[in-house]
Amino acid sequence: MQKLEPPDAHYLNAAIGWLELGLCAEAAAELDAISPAHRQHPDVLEARWSVLAHQSRWDDALATASELLAQSPARSSAWLHHAYSLRRAANGGLQKAWGALLPAATRFPEAPVICFNLACYACQLGQLEEARGWLKRAMKIGGRDQLKLMALGDKDLKPLWPEIQKL
């Protein structure tokens, strides 16, 4: 994919900065200033998805994530954004998110966040043994201590918290 050049690269960087400050309207305005020819650039789509996710506009976020995934299937974040949006979109749900993210575990075997999200989905689907397996794999890849803290802060994994605390 072609690298963004100024001024569009500047608008994207500004949007990312606004997002880091939690100012979605400002970030969206910067993204809207990007030339129409570059609004479908994967980096722009990723930033746009972040704005939409912060605004809980899940159907729009899903459309953006779907475009990102179609353009950039080699980005693990595209798979994560797609599944995350699908879980929350009007015609989505946990089972659909699980099915959408599962192939990414094979494509990105060293990405702990994919395993972690699969653990969350499995746990919420009541598949606790499956969730344990995915969480164990995430911890093996990404480091036990860091993932343990993440798991204890994620309500999706609440049914496993007593076990996780003992790790």
Per-residue model confidence as pLDDT tens digits over 75-88: 999 999 999 999 99
Q: How many domains does the chain have?
A: 2
Specify if 20 maps to a domain.
Answer: yes
Domain containing 83 equals 1-92
Q: DSSP per residue over 94-151, as a string?
A: HHHHHHHHHHHHHH-TT-HHHHHHHHHHHHHTT-HHHHHHHHHHHHHHH-HHHHHHHH
First-to-last alpha carbon distance for the chain, in angstroms, is: 43
CA distance 72 to 43: 10
Q: What is the pLDDT of residue 52?
A: 98
CB of 98 within 8 A of CB of 133? no
Specify if 100 maps to a domain.
Answer: no
For the chain, give the number of residues: 167
Mean per-residue pLDDT of the chain: 97
